[in-house]
Structure 1
Amino acid sequence: MNNPSFPGIFSLRGQVALITGGGTGIGRAIAGAMHAAGAHVVLAGRREAELAAAAAELGERASIAVHDVTELDAAPALVARITRETGPVTCLVNNAGINMKKPAVETTSPEFEAMLRTHVLGSHALTRAVAPGMIERKSGSVLFIASMASLFGIPGVIAYTAAKSAYVGMVKCYSTELSPHGVRVNAIAPGWIETAMSRKAMEGDPARRQKIIGRTPMAKFGAPADIGWAAVYLASPAASFVTGVTLPVDGGASIGF
């Protein structure tokens, strides 16, 4: 962009953003914000009906791709199809994930492996699939959606913590390797966000909800759009000199007492 100025500096016009887990929750909010900023968004996930409903709500410049991130060998074909049908992927958002609440000593090796396959290996497979094209074009952005579990200990989520902590290391390594080629790699670490999943987790446990609010300096849950607009910033020309960063969007939870 020549002589960028506000608001164009935050525009994603001309970009093709592939967002895993894009049909619901935080992924849907990221898709909505990127779409509003001008990108064509490709919502990827396992449940076609949810993806189709989200894309229909967004309208033009929104399409879907039924894809299971744990099918690692399918990543290159997915990226090739999107490139053929929509255009080269200029922004990848590794958002798809699963969670499991269980004491560490009760977490089995298969459960741990499933968590790592979904988050770590799944995101690596897709990043590896989009990176060559980005390197060739000397431009691109990859975002990982990390977690508060990447930053401090949370009981009962050992496998999830390991997977989300791996994202922080992956961002550092990927950014070191790819940034010299014009490809930026960053992460967002959401705090406690008001989603259907979080509401379900809090059902019947008002003490847990109050504990979260009590340790968050802004004394509230965030909105999914808070993560969406942070993703727009990191993918936009406004962040052209930002790489290797894990950005907490958490109402101060990671630094408050």
Structure 2
Amino acid sequence: MDVLVTGGDTDLGRAIAEGFSEAGHTVTLAGMRGPELEVAAKELDADAVVCDTTDPASLAQARALFPHHLDTIVHVPAPRWHGGDPRGYSLADQASAWRSALDATVLSAVLTVGTVGDHLRSGGSIISVLPENPREGSAEAAVKDALSNWTAGQATTFGTRGITVNVVAAGDGARPGYDGLTRTIPTGTAEIARLAMFLTSPAARHITGQTLHVGHGALACFG
């Protein structure tokens, strides 16, 4: 299987790429930070494409470097805004935080699929990953809803080619202080990566247009 992982210069992107690589799949990493991307690609014996997936011009320039045939696209956001405590934001800070969240999470996925979506083979998969469980009313929460809505629409579009489109998101089980119904299984990057991989398997062909949460029983416990 040929897999493209964006956000390959992040810890989560690298973990997902490592899972696919260890399973014997061919992996291409994409990301903006060249040095980090090259290190990850070398360690995983993967190809690397340095580009900004929020920038149409950068993607257009890199388009020829992407594999011409893909089975899976995994989009991992790489936020650039680290503004500290939102309670102290100025209006300019708020604008930057919202734009950064939208660009990294939604626009990046939209543009990546627009660039290489036609490279996907029939029966393939598109997966967007959200590594954090945002608080209600935050920019990240609003953007998460937007990504879920876009994903549902894309599932209809790509379904004509037998391609599934889903979101894997961190749930309540990923919040600090909650270890799930059992303390023997930690919630985090590995679980998100495993769910993303499962969605590419034959056993998951009936799942599309969904936002699936890695929550370790939080809803059962607190709901």
TM bin, normalised by shorter chain, reads: 0.7 to 0.9
One-letter identity of the residue aligned with 1:69: T
Instruction: Give the structure 2 partner of residue 75 of structure 1.
Output: 59
1:180 aligns with 2:155: no
Tell me how far apart the structure 2 counterparts of residues 254 and 80 of structure 1 sit (CA, whole Å): 44
Q: 1:237 to 1:118 in 2, by over 3 A?
A: same
Q: 1:53 to 1:105 in 2, by over 3 A?
A: closer
Tell me how far apart the structure 2 counterparts of residues 140 and 77 of structure 1 sit (CA, whole Å): 25
Equivalent position SS for 1:108: helix
- What TM-score do the two structures reach when normalised by structure 2? 0.83
Tell me how far apart the structure 1 counterparts of residues 35 and 152 of structure 2 sit (CA, whole Å): 35
Equivalent position SS for 1:242: coil
Instruction: Indicate if the aligned counterparts of 1:188 and 1:227 stay in contact, CA closer than 8 A.
Output: yes
Candidates 188, 196, 202, aligned match of 1:237: 202
Instruction: Give the structure 2 partner of residue 226 of structure 1.
Output: 191
1:160 aligns with 2:140: yes
Shift of 1:46: 1.7
RCO comparison, higher one (Cα < 8 Å, 6+): 1
Paired residues in the alignment total: 216
1:133 aligns with 2:119: yes
Shift of 1:221: 4.0
Indicate the percent of aligned positions where both proteins have the same amino acid.
29
Instruction: Note the aligned Cα RMSD (angstroms).
Output: 2.7
Instruction: Give the structure 1 partner of residue 69 of structure 2.
Output: 88
Instruction: Indicate if the aligned counterparts of 2:131 and 2:189 stay in contact, CA closer than 8 A.
Output: no
1:117-141, CA deviations, whole angstroms, 9 ceiling, x for partnerless residues?
222111100011222233xx43321
Instruction: Indicate if the aligned counterparts of 2:31 and 2:37 stay in contact, CA closer than 8 A.
Output: yes
1:176-228, CA deviations, whole angstroms, 9 ceiling, x for partnerless residues?
1111221110111124798xxxxxxxxxxxxx833x44xx4335742422222
Equivalent position SS for 1:141: strand
Q: 1:224 to 1:132 in 2, by over 3 A?
A: same
Instruction: Indicate if the aligned counterparts of 2:154 and 2:165 stay in contact, CA closer than 8 A.
Output: yes
Candidates 32, 37, 49, aligned match of 1:65: 49
- What TM-score do the two structures reach when normalised by structure 1? 0.73
Shift of 1:79: 3.6
Q: How does 1:1-257 map to 2 (within 5 A)?
A: 15-59=1-45, 62-83=46-67, 87-98=68-79, 100=82, 101-103=85-87, 108-134=94-120, 137-146=121-130, 149=133, 154=135, 158-191=138-171, 209-210=176-177, 212-213=178-179, 216-219=180-183, 221-257=186-222
Tell me how far apart the structure 1 counterparts of residues 42 and 89 of structure 2 sit (CA, whole Å): 44
The answer for unaligned runs of 5 or more in structure 1 is 1-14, 195-207
Shift of 1:145: 0.7
Shift of 1:23: 3.0
Higher strand share: 2
Equivalent position SS for 1:256: helix
Equivalent position SS for 2:125: strand
Shift of 1:254: 4.3
1:80-136, CA deviations, whole angstroms, 9 ceiling, x for partnerless residues?
3222xxx423211111232655149855223312221222111100011222233xx
Instruction: Indicate if the aligned counterparts of 2:151 and 2:210 stay in contact, CA closer than 8 A.
Output: yes
Shift of 1:72: 2.5
Tell me how far apart the structure 2 counterparts of residues 91 and 18 of structure 1 sit (CA, whole Å): 6
Equivalent position SS for 1:43: strand
